[in-house]
Amino acid sequence: METDIRLKNVSFAYKKQPILENISLIIPRKEFACIVGPNGGGKTTLLKLILGLIKPDTGQIQVLGMSPEKARNRMGYMPQYAYLDMNFPATVLDVVLMGCLKNNIFWFSAKDRSRAMDAIDTVGMTSFAQTGFNALSGGQKQRVLIARALCSRPDILLLDEPTANVDHETEENLFSILKALNQNMTILVVSHDLGFVSKYVKTVICVNRRLVIHPTTDVDGTMIKDIYYGDLKMVRHDHRCSEEGHCHD
């Protein structure tokens, strides 16, 4: 099994306050996993460690067989909050091209523009390429920010709350896009809506300072359908994954 992400005994504290403790995690190639947990439990911190934006206090991290810093150009990232000046006259294409920025070079080649248009097309926003970003709806903005993360054609896509503040239909559309993308890349997505995303993802990573990994298993039932308006996948908390394989409590 090829591995894209590997963390071993990783701990991280912020101002001496423990955020993550002794985390070990293996993410195989083309995994589609959801990271869940309470506010302050360390979900965003886990993504930043994988990206190499922060360094662990202890432990080792490898991404695509190298350090996170060296692998960063092969990862696409959508942060939880988009720090964009809504009054700045940036078009959809301008925003997506930001995903091609690297090494402090602020010049875009024809190849960069072609990749940006491909990413825009992937999320179904081609007709809006020259539209001002601020003129878009919330769901459309989320699509554009996903396109920005896709612009560099990454091997790994990391998304922090990509469906925050969007309606159910938009959420369905966005996760349908991610499911299709998963055929070619590994995807980690932070979400609070486990009931919804569990029908799309293969694995659930529960983070609350420590970490437990659960597979998802198919469950049918009238009550489940009534609550969630369709079939879904549930997390089995008696069934855990580790480096050694599956085990039951």
- Specify the CATH number for the domain of residue 201: 3.40.50.300
Residue 145: domain span = 3-248
The pTM (predicted TM-score) of the whole model is 0.81
Judge residue 246's burial from the number of C-beta atoms within 10 Å of its C-beta, 0-12 exposed, 13-18 middle, 19 or more buried. Answer: exposed
Distance of CA 40 to the CA centre of its chain: 17
**In the numeric block, which tokens belong to residue 18?**
């423990």
Provide the H-helix boundaries in 162-230: 168-181, 194-197, 222-228
Of the candidates 158, 222, 215, 219, which has an alpha carbon nearest to the alpha carbon of residue 190? Answer: 158
Each residue's pLDDT tens digit, 123-164: 999 999 999 998 998 889 889 999 999 998 999 999 998 887
Instruction: Specify the pairing of strand 203-208 against strand 32-36.
Output: parallel
**Backbone Cα Rg of the chain:** 18
Mean pLDDT of the chain: 83
What is the percent of the chain where pLDDT is above 90? 52
- Which DSSP letter does residue 229 get? S
Q: How far apart are CA 138 and CA 244, in angstroms?
A: 43
Is the pLDDT reported for residue 4 higher than 90? yes
Instruction: Look at the chain and report how many structural domains it folds into.
Output: 1
Question: Is the separation of the CB atoms in 182 and 30 below 8 Å?
Answer: yes
Q: pLDDT category, 191, cuts 50, 70, 90?
A: confident
pLDDT score recorded for residue 71 = 96
